[in-house]
Structure 1
Amino acid sequence: MARHLYLYGGHGYEGELELFRRAHVRAPAAETADLPGLRPRFLYRVTDRADVLGTPPLITDDDIAVRRYLADHPAAEVSIVPMAQ
């Protein structure tokens, strides 16, 4: 089962309804990620500033995926985004 997670304003939200209730914004205004498994406590948001193609950031809760991404993109920056409580 995939979870639909949204990132907005430095926090992660599980589902469109929680995003609207807590942040008072609609889903198109937020970044999205579909992740399998249980609800995470935090998410990793990895952006590569050296990327000229403008690919969207990697949003995941898997630390191994982050390490693999950093191995391929050494100029990438990692930020930790807590889930809204």
Structure 2
Amino acid sequence: ALNGLVVKIDFTTLRESLAETGQYVSELNMIGNNINQIAHKLNQTDIVETEDIQYLVSEFAKMQNNYVRSQDILLQEIQKLTRSE
């Protein structure tokens, strides 16, 4: 460290990207709760509403899009950090 090169890396964008990941985990938990409610309803009535299924499908599609987007952001940030100058 005394005679070497000091490299300063800004992790701000990476931190922001990881914060988004926390939001996705929260959304996934909400979907899990909704699935449990639908399963409970199914066990009581033996009927699943079409709206419930459509809601779950749309929520999973959103989660998939968000996951792919956050993965792309993280990969870009990692590539920036690992490029040799």
TM range (shorter): under 0.3
Structure possessing the higher radius of gyration over alpha carbons: 2
Which is helix-richer, 1 or 2? 2
Structure with bigger RCO (C-alpha 8 Å, 6+ apart): 2
What TM-score, normalized to structure 1? 0.22
What TM-score, normalized to structure 2? 0.22
